[in-house]
Structure 1
Amino acid sequence: MTERFFLYDDMEETKTRFVSFMGEYQRYDLAIMTTERYYGKKLVLDIQGGRFAIIGNDDLDEPGYIENVYKVSEEEANELRAFLTDIV
Structure 2
Amino acid sequence: MAERPFLEDFTQETSTRFVCFTAGSHRFELALMKADHFNNQTMVINLHKNRQALLDHETISKDGHLEHLFQLSAIEAEELRNYLPDLL
Cα offset, 1:71, TM superposition: 0.5
Give the unaligned 5+ runs of structure 2. Answer: none
Q: How many residues align?
A: 88
Q: Which residue of 1 aligns with 2:43?
A: 43
Cα offset, 1:82, TM superposition: 1.1
Q: Which residue of 1 aligns with 2:77?
A: 77
Q: Which residue of 2 aligns with 1:56?
A: 56
TM-score, length basis structure 1: 0.92
CA distance in 2, matches of 1:69, 1:25: 20
Q: Which residue of 2 aligns with 1:32?
A: 32
Cα offset, 1:25, TM superposition: 2.8
Cα offset, 1:3, TM superposition: 2.9
Cα offset, 1:61, TM superposition: 2.0
Q: CA RMSD in A?
A: 1.1
Q: Which residue of 2 aligns with 1:23?
A: 23
Secondary structure in 2 matching 1:84:
helix
CA distance in 1, matches of 2:6, 2:58: 30
Identity rate, percent? 34
Runs of 4+ residues deviating >2 angstroms: none
CA distance in 1, matches of 2:68, 2:25: 17
